[in-house]
Structure 1
């Protein structure tokens, strides 16, 4: 294992699976005090000392204080052969730098719960678990790791200030954020994002955001290595698809038939998935797999189409005169199940205040910080039976495009208040039949819960009372009697099921896209993916302590050939990444981004030199 601080870490059991979702605050600039930050050349050349040993004279093996080769532990998510191949390639690249790597493949949900999630017990409080439970010296994961592969971070090209939860310092933690790797920014990223969020001058906003993405490329809290292209595989007879960046926003309108034909009713639709849901509790969902299952039964407030236009769902209108106070009006035909009656503004106001903004976070909400500005909850007021107003403390012209009300879900007030003041109420609500079987969904989604066989299949049946049928274009929807999300642990099994027609839709790996493009029975639709694939560097106490040094992290990024990953492993169905924003984004400024892993900014020699110049004195090459 890697040589790290001589500390015996307490492997506490996790209390619950909390996590990502988008959340909360950073106050002040760390100044790099704990990151041992020094000055290095922009392109990834060497570090500071002009008397450093030339790279050609360095040895082949990096040796730690114990006299053994440094060996880092890399955990990666299984289920995708591409991810495994990238892990093996990165191991090979680190080998050229004299560093060993021990690979461990685990299911994605296991990677989140045992490796990414961390646990912390304050001196004067109860133990808590989340993706940023506390200070990096004290909050550590159940399982040790140094490098993590298989996670993609949403770059939110529509609303880039939404990336704030990923880069919030671990030192200040009131609400849950996503900084599981223990990053301390060298500059006040949160402050810049807050300022950009309020800026109405597009040029000034662009400059602020370009600075943020420049800082991230400089700090290298993770190795941003690619933005992939989604390869959506469908059976040829699936119709109604609207290709684009928001493909699937109208999945209720899919039908089986001839191209150009009219929508008709048919038996069932099956989606082949690589991972199962973690939970069906909207309060605790932080992953796409869980969100996809719940989304079959609950539409959410509203979504966006391929032209970035609002697609109204439960909400039928959004009004604002000043871009600071936003009034949301619900449709009048929304009905909860389980005898909870009509969905009204009372449900939303109660849910926002008593779940999202509850000071004690009794329900284990993973998205709390979105509903705060700094330490203060965002005021929310009922303005009518079906309307409520969110009163922002500052102007925010992009508010409706942020993942706050966009896609937001709600629970009935009558359900939540049963557990609000109960001992361990959050866990009891989570374990209730209402949550586990989504009995409260009523007419609020195109399908209703039928059964969930863990790690096997999620089945939902057609909702005969679906509220959206009153809207033009949705007559008779959905067009399938049943919708299944079937889990295939092995990618090969999933692909075989797709080839034989057992499943109707899946995400294809780049290595298999050409095959299914050429088949007469299937089709492949490419869409840009806003998720940035990263290799996370563990800067917490159970990671290699040298990862807290910015230049060490940058050296590891310099030594991995991103072009090989994109062109050879992903067969060109991806773009190289250097920061948490794609190059096509309005917020990306090439002049401010430090590039790693390509051209003159790639190579084992310069990576080794940077390590030699910036590792502590107890390390050397032999």
Structure 2
């Protein structure tokens, strides 16, 4: 995420573009390094430059994997553009697959295009209308607009605070309402959904840890995707940006950022400009599931509450959270929250209606991408109004971690008066989505530090200082925000974005690892490192328009064995990352090394090993020549 953004939005942002915006670092593994040398000049000839490499010579199986048609197997890999890092990793993986006898055709597209035309799939039930989503229907029948076998450039949120929130990724695609982001059509070898349900209700930390360790062990064995790294974010700021609270939730207090000398008191100044590599997809809170979109909307809407660097609740719209039994949670709103567009005061009625008629609507008429949050065991979680400004969420089981979960943390709401206009309308979800209230956020009122000004697609999103911001009555927020204007400016080329940061045109941006030292050494800029909860993955398409052999667990496993993760971390990302083997970082308390099978390192890396696994597990009409 680009510097200055609010990490609390990651509670809703299941997917994230990696590489664009400086999320991962950059090095010229196949493009040439900073001093002009090429990979061949600096790395071993087999491409296994990582210190963990134990690549062995190719066996006698043959150099080329041939399919039923007698031709070499060729897989299509789509990757997101916007950063040379992602392209470099794609080219490196192409080389690694080449050593396994597999040809790979690369196609680079913008991140949002990759999501809409490749990740999203379409299905038409026999008794219903065509539907399109990240999991539209059975993997045998639902297909994406564009064919693909491999997808690179997406990060999956691992939620180290609340790991049961990964359910949308790893529940079988057959359970559509839960597996909302299972665009690759994964069917687990074990009941991951059941284990996550069990873990979410477990109050004993040791037992909960054991359950989750099993989940991450299954994922490492099944390899529904190639989990290859967890990177760190390199957050670049102009030296005069003050008020930053550095830590894993950097940006949670972005309203308090200001421009001035160190030690100076905050004052209102001109524009704060975030340099971004990716534009928003939407500003409709119902349909947001990506960081770029959430960041734009978040300028105008704070959300319920956020979490600081120590996981403490920071009240925003919600003034207090109360529970006696860790099962029933009462949320009380501040009394000075006002919608725009004449919708009046935000009350508990707005929240209860929004939860029941949007999040829990059986027909999902509004196209909510986060419905699974508000269901437990397939049943809607009861929500009840307890006062004009208070409502209670009644969980079916005790859950001491509920406030940390991506349910109410950073949650949005829309005015009841707005939503009910479209609730029973034919095609109401799309009508609501296209309304001026949604597209121009006119309902925002005093609910965020900034007010929507304009959005020029693929160019700039501009918001201006909200003179009526509700938090100004709260200690520590007097006078906030301190910028007259806050904008996200999209740069198609990473070099252009970094040049704008160097000259001061951009106030903050993500920094690629290859340029980190340069900006650390400049007197005008500073770079702050923060842990990244997003796991970089190579997705394997197990749906109808992917290579059918990818449905075999051991074939996917072989493809992960054949890619040297250590080279990616050490040579492409220049050490600003850690090798990943499952959907949880090793620093997480839920990670158990003894449960995880490692691929792409040590004795579990190599073309010869990968080819042998393929030979043993591909259908009989495949072979090496």
TM-score by length of 1: 0.91
Partner of 2:350 in structure 1?
A: 347
Shift of 1:265: 1.1
Is the contact made by 1:21 and 1:366 (CA closer than 8 Å) also made in structure 2?
A: no
Give the match for residue 247 of structure 1. Answer: 250
Q: Please tell me whether the aligned partners of residues 44 and 601 of structure 1 are also in contact (alpha carbons under 8 angstroms).
A: no
Aligned to 1:29: none
Which residues of 2 match residues 557-568 of structure 1 at below 5 A? 557-568=560-571
| CA 1:58–1:163: 2 relative to 1, 3 Å | same
Matched residue of 1:297: which SS? Answer: coil
Q: Tell me whether 1:213 sits opposite 2:216 in the alignment.
A: yes
Q: Partner of 1:113 in structure 2?
A: 116
The residue number in structure 2 matching 1:392 is 395
1:460-490 deviation per Cα after TM superposition (whole angstroms, max 9, x unaligned) = 0000000011111111000000001000011
2:569 aligned with 1:539, yes or no?
Answer: no
Alignment check: 8 A CA contact 2:317 2:337 kept? yes
Residue of structure 2 in register with 1:237 after alignment = 240
2:493 equivalent to 1:490:
yes
Could you tell me which residue of structure 2 aligns to residue 10 of structure 1? Answer: none
Q: How many Å apart are 1:513 and its aligned residue?
A: 1.1
Q: For residues 102 and 574 of structure 1, what CA distance do their matches in structure 2 show?
A: 27
Q: Could you tell me whether the CA contact under 8 Å between 2:13 and 2:291 is conserved in 1?
A: no
User: Do residues 138 (structure 1) and 149 (structure 2) align?
Assistant: no
Q: 1:311 aligns with which of 304, 314, 325?
A: 314
User: Deviations 1:381-408 (Å, cap 9, x if unpaired)?
Assistant: 0000000001111111111111010010
Q: Look up the match of 2:479.
A: 476
Q: 1:419 aligns with which of 398, 402, 422?
A: 422
Shift of 1:543: 0.4
Question: In 2, are the aligned partners of 1:303 and 1:310 still within 8 Å (CA)?
Answer: yes
Please state if 1:292 is matched with 2:278.
Answer: no
Match of 1:226 in 2: 229
**C-alpha separation in 2, matches of 1:316 and 1:244:** 24
C-alpha distance after superposition, 1:349-388 (max 9, x if no partner): 0000000011111111111111111221111000000000
Is the 1:326–1:389 Cα contact (8 Å) retained in structure 2?
yes
Find the aligned partners of 2:604 and 2:264 in 1 and give their Cα distance: 53
SS of alignment partner, residue 268 of structure 1: strand
Match of 1:266 in 2: 269
- For residue 392 of structure 2, give the secondary structure of its aligned residue in structure 1: strand
What residue number does 1:13 align with? none
Deviation at 1:56, TM superposition (A): 1.6
User: Residue by residue, what CA displacement relative to the aligned partner does 1:93-128 show, whole Å, maximum 9, x if unpaired?
Assistant: 101111100000000000000000011111111211
SS in 2 for 1:601: coil
CA contact (8 A) 1:134 1:172 kept: no
Q: 1:331-342 maps to which residues of 2 (within 5 A)?
A: 331-342=334-345
1:62 aligns with 2:73: no
Q: Which runs of 5+ in 2 are unaligned?
A: 1-11, 16-51
Count, aligned residues: 576
Answering whether residue 594 of structure 2 is matched by residue 575 of structure 1, we say no
User: Contact 1:21–1:178 at 8 Å: present in 2 too?
Assistant: no
1:55, distance to aligned residue in structure 2 (A): 6.0
Matches of residues 98-109 of structure 1 in structure 2 within 5 Å? Answer: 98-109=101-112
> Structure 1 runs of 4+ off > 3 angstroms?
20-23
Report the Cα distance in structure 2 between the residues aligned to 1:315 and 1:172, rounded to whole angstroms. Answer: 33
Conservation of the 8 A alpha-carbon contact between 1:93 and 1:560: yes
What is the CA-CA distance between 1:417 and the residue it aligns to?
0.6
Residue 384 of structure 2 aligns with which residue?
A: 381
Residue 172 of structure 1 and its aligned partner are, at CA, apart by 2.3
Contact 1:22 1:367 in 2 (8 A): no
Post-superposition Cα deviations, 1:553-601, rounded to whole Å, max 9, x if no partner, equal 0100001000100011000000000000000110000000000011111
What RMSD over aligned residues (CA atoms) do the two structures have, in Å? Answer: 1.5
Name 1:606's counterpart in structure 2.
609
Please say if 1:327 is aligned against 2:333. Answer: no
Offset, 1:302: 0.4
Aligned to 2:360: 357
Distance in 2 between residues matched to 1:452 and 1:107, nearest whole Å:
18
Pairwise CA distance, 1:423:
1.1
Counterpart pick for 2:439 among 411, 436, 440: 436
- Between the aligned partners of 2:402 and 2:129, the Cα distance in structure 1 is 34
Residue 81 of structure 2 is aligned with which of 78, 94, 98? 78
Q: Distance in 2 between matches of 1:95 and 1:260?
A: 56
- TM-score by length of structure 2 reads 0.91
Note closer, same or farther for the CA distance 1:74–1:612 as it changes in structure 2 (3 Å cut). Answer: same
Q: How does 1:402-417 map to 2 (within 5 A)?
A: 402-417=405-420
Match of 1:178 in 2: 181
| Helix, strand or coil at the partner of 1:247 | coil
Cα deviation, residue 538, structure 1: 0.3
Q: Secondary structure at the match of 2:285?
A: coil
Aligned to 1:203: 206
- Tell me how far 1:44 sits from its aligned partner: 14
SS for the counterpart of 1:125 is: coil
Cα 1:44–1:516 change in 2 (3 A) is: closer
Are the equivalent residues in 1 in contact too, given 2:53–2:601 (CA < 8 A)?
A: no
Matches within 5 A, 1:3-152: 56-152=59-155
In the alignment, what sits opposite 1:506?
Answer: 509
| CA displacement at 1:176 relative to structure 2 | 6.0
Among candidates 455, 463, 466, match of residue 463 of structure 1: 466
Deviation at 1:174, TM superposition (A): 3.6
Q: Distance in 2 between matches of 1:173 and 1:88?
A: 34
What SS does the corresponding residue of 2:550 show, helix, strand or coil? Answer: helix
For residue 175 of structure 1, report the CA deviation from its aligned partner.
5.5
Offset from partner CA, 1:424-449 (integer Å, 9 cap, x none): 11111111110010000000000000
CA distance in 2, matches of 1:504, 1:169: 43
Distance 1:174 1:308, change over 3 A: closer
Q: How far is 1:609 from its partner?
A: 0.6
Question: Is the CA contact 2:123–2:137 (under 8 Å) kept in the aligned structure 1?
Answer: yes
What secondary structure sits across from 2:613 in the alignment? helix
